[in-house]
Amino acid sequence: MLAAATAPTRPHVADSGGSGGLDTHQKWQHTGGGAGSGGGAATDDSSEAITVVDAAGRAVLPGFVDSHTHLVFAGDRSAEFEARMAGRRYEAGGIRSTVAATRAASDDELRARLAGFVDELLAQGTTTFEVKSGYGLTVADEERAVRLAREVTPEVTFLGAHVVPAEYAEDPDAYVDLVVGPMLEACAPHARWIDVFCETGAFTPEQSRRVLEAGAARGLGVRVHGNQLGPGGGVRLAVALDAASVDHCTHLDDADVAALAGSSTVATLLPGVEFSTREPYPDARRLLDAGVTVALASDCNPGSSFTSSLPLCIAVAVRDMGMTVDEAVWAATAGGAAALRRTDVGVIRPGARADLVLLDAPSVTHLAYRPGVPLIAGVWKDGTRRA
Ligand SMILES: [Zn+2]
């Protein structure tokens, strides 16, 4: 395990308002490898071999927590991105091209792609991540997606209600029947969460409520994609159902913000989407000033945000969304953990999982100050060096 050999000189990220992590000459004790969560109390009299890592003036922060990804897919949509950058607006239906490619892929192809993403995430400092299904949209293909996702993370989300597949275009309610019936039955054993894309062009608030209530009745936690492409009922539905998180929150009215502020639902902002679709960013400052808990996540997916970089999300949030550096780093660590209702990750403290990122920089400010520069010098997950 890893543990601080000296007390942090800045508050850890669990403190209100967040913190940039540990900026000074912290030393870290490495006592063997593979310690389980709940560690963190290494001392000099430990009988285990101790490896001391001298950060040498470089910043250490908790491993990033990416609470929103769509990593089980096949195919390539770079041509769609290229067209969009040439002036065509993104529409939710683009998901269907990934659905066709994913259905045609073998288990091993999907597994290999997923393994590549896990390495990519770790190399960029992400030590906890959620993965959604949603590119299968049949009972067998959705079951396969959550089963494969469960091989790489416990934070698996069943998103059968991602988009209405082409074969149900004339009868979306029949597709909702499938999602809340046999599809949920097949997927729930592999999943921790249920999610729905509550948006014009995807699922109505009424259909979304059916999906989420069915998942909750099966013991799944609730998450919502809401208010991405325009105003709508997604945020208020999420709050009404005590969702752990409502994600996107790009188009909010005052009632949405008030509802979030009075709830335990996290507003998860996904700036990679607006970056990659050239749409206006969500107003993080408005949410923070209202007292809403804000997380940052990548939404890594082949259509609207094909980045897995939380450092990029932090840089954009600081430059264009009104967040301070400390708020953005908190949102990508402890905020992501809150969006997954976890307290054992996203923080540096005794008892938390030893997930740590060492930056090749003297402070976490450099994550925003030096956008696009590979600053991740070391990554430990559960006390074991992984990158
Ligand atoms: Zn998403």
345-387 per-position pLDDT tens digit: 999 999 999 999 999 999 999 999 999 999 999 999 999 999 9
Judge whether 303 is annotated as a binding position: yes
Over residues 36-41, the mean pLDDT reads 36
Minimum mean pLDDT range among 68-82, 84-98, 345-359: 84-98
pLDDT of residue 79: 87
Q: Are residues 99 and 237 in the same domain?
A: yes
Q: Are residues 329 and 242 in the same domain?
A: yes
Ligand 1 center to 293 CA (angstroms): 19
Judge whether 135 is annotated as a binding position: yes
Over residues 211-220, the mean pLDDT reads 98
Q: Are residues 51 and 194 in the same domain?
A: no
The count of structural domains within the chain is: 2
pLDDT of residue 155: 98
Q: Is residue 89's pLDDT more than 50?
A: yes
The structure's pTM equals 0.89
pLDDT of residue 88: 72
The mean pLDDT of the chain is 89
Q: Are residues 49 and 148 in the same domain?
A: no
Q: Are residues 37 and 156 in the same domain?
A: no
pLDDT of residue 90: 53
Final residue in a domain of this structure, among 299, 318, 339? 339
Judge whether 304 is annotated as a binding position: yes
Q: Are residues 57 and 68 in the same domain?
A: no
The range of the structural domain enclosing residue 307 comes to 64-339
Judge whether 25 is annotated as a binding position: no
pLDDT of residue 349: 95
Ligand 1 center to 168 CA (angstroms): 21
Q: Which residue has the higher pLDDT, 329 or 52?
A: 329
Q: Is residue 12's pLDDT more than 50?
A: no
pLDDT of residue 291: 98
The pLDDT tens digits of the residues spanning 242-272 come to 999 999 999 999 999 999 999 999 999 999 9
pLDDT of residue 379: 98
Q: Are residues 281 and 133 in the same domain?
A: yes
Here the CATH number for the domain that contains residue 159 is 3.20.20.140
SS (H, E, C) the chain: CEEECCCCCCCCCCCCCCCCCECCCCEEEEECCCCCCCCCCCCCCCCCCEEEEECCCCCEEECEEECCECCCCCCCCHHHHHHHHCCCCCCHHHHHHHHHHHHHCCHHHHHHHHHHHHHHHHHCCEEEECEECCCCCCHHHHHHHHHHHHCCCCCEEEEEECCCCHHHCCCHHHHHHHHHHHHHHHHHHHCCEEEEEECCCCECHHHHHHHHHHHHHCCCEEEEEECCCCCCCHHHHHHHCCCCEEEECCCCCHHHHHHHHCCCCEEEECHHHHHHHCCCCCCHHHHHHCCCCEEECCCEECCCECCCCHHHHHHHHHHHCCCCHHHHHHHCCHHHHHHCCCCCCCCCCCCCCCCEEEECCCCCCHHHHCCCCCCEEEEEECCEECC
Ligand 1 center to 231 CA (angstroms): 17
Q: Are residues 84 and 53 in the same domain?
A: no
Ligand 1 center to 326 CA (angstroms): 25
The pLDDT tens digits of the residues spanning 165-180 come to 999 999 999 999 999 9
Q: Are residues 211 and 237 in the same domain?
A: yes
Judge whether 162 is annotated as a binding position: yes
Judge whether 29 is annotated as a binding position: no
Q: Calculate what percentage of the chain has a pLDDT beyond 90.
A: 80
Here the CATH number for the domain that contains residue 22 is 2.30.40
Q: Is residue 101's pLDDT more than 80?
A: yes
Judge whether 225 is annotated as a binding position: yes
Q: Calculate what percentage of the chain has a pLDDT beyond 70.
A: 86
Q: Which residue has the higher pLDDT, 36 or 144?
A: 144
Q: Is residue 21's pLDDT more than 60?
A: no
Q: Are residues 56 and 95 in the same domain?
A: no
Q: Are residues 115 and 219 in the same domain?
A: yes
Q: Are residues 1 and 51 in the same domain?
A: yes
